[in-house]
Amino acid sequence: MSPNNLGRDRRLYDNEEDLLLTNATTELRAFIIIAIETAMRRGEIHGLKRDWIKGRVAHLPDTKNGSARAVPLSTRAIEAINTLPLQLNGSLWAFKIDAYTKGFNRLCEKLNINDIVLHDLRHEATSRLFEKGLNEMQVKSITGHKSMQMLARYTHFKADELARLLE
C-alpha cells in the first residue's frame, strides 16, 4: 500500500477535546460534539434537518454510500442539537458547510492543535464506539461503513487504553 493510501489515524489527545469545545462558537461546538458522538460524515451532519430527528434517532435519507440509515443520538448529541437556534429552512445550521470546516481549522491553529482535520473526528467517534463496548456490526450500522475493512480503517485504539484492559 502506498503512503498516500495508508489513511489517517489521528485521535484527540489529552485535553484537546476540552480545549476545542471551550473555545468554539456555539454552532461549531455543537458540530464538533455531534461529529464525536455520532461518527457521521461532515456532509451528513450539515445536511441534517430537525424533522429527521425522532426521539434519539437521526434518520438520514441519503448518505455518501447511497443508502439511508438511522443514527442513534447520545444524550450529549441531543443536548448539543438543543443549543442550536431554529432555522427557517429546517436545517440545524446557519452557515454553509465550509464555514464549519474552516472554523475548525482556524480554531485548531489558534489552539496549536496540530495535524488534525474535521474528518478525524469520524475516526475518533468510530474508535470510541468500540471503546464503549459495541460490537463490529453495531458500530458498522451506526457509521454506515459498507465493509469491515473500511470500518477497521476508521478504528484506532489508544495503546494506553488497551494496556488498562490487560491488567
Of these residues, 50, 119, 153, 156, which one is catalytic? 119
Cβ within 8 Å of residue 69, ≥6 positions away: 60, 63, 141, 144
Of these residues, 42, 122, 123, 140, which one is catalytic? 122
Q: Is 154 a catalytic residue?
A: yes
Of these residues, 42, 123, 140, 145, which one is catalytic? 145
Of these residues, 100, 123, 140, 154, which one is catalytic? 154
Q: Is 156 a catalytic residue?
A: no
Q: Is 122 a catalytic residue?
A: yes
Q: Which three cell numbers stand for residue 109?
A: 491553529
* Neighbour-count burial of 143, counting CB atoms closer than 10 A to its CB (0-12 exposed, 13-18 middle, 19+ buried): buried
Of these residues, 56, 64, 106, 158, which one is catalytic? 64
Of these residues, 41, 42, 46, 123, which one is catalytic? 41
CA dihedral (67, 70, 72, 76) positive or negative: positive
Q: Alpha-carbon dihedral of residues 25, 105, 93, 82, nearest 10 degrees?
A: -50
d(Cα 94, Cα 74) in Å, to the nearest integer? 23
* Neighbour-count burial of 16, counting CB atoms closer than 10 A to its CB (0-12 exposed, 13-18 middle, 19+ buried): middle
d(Cα 106, Cα 136) in Å, to the nearest integer? 34
The residues that are catalytic are 41, 64, 119, 122, 145, 154
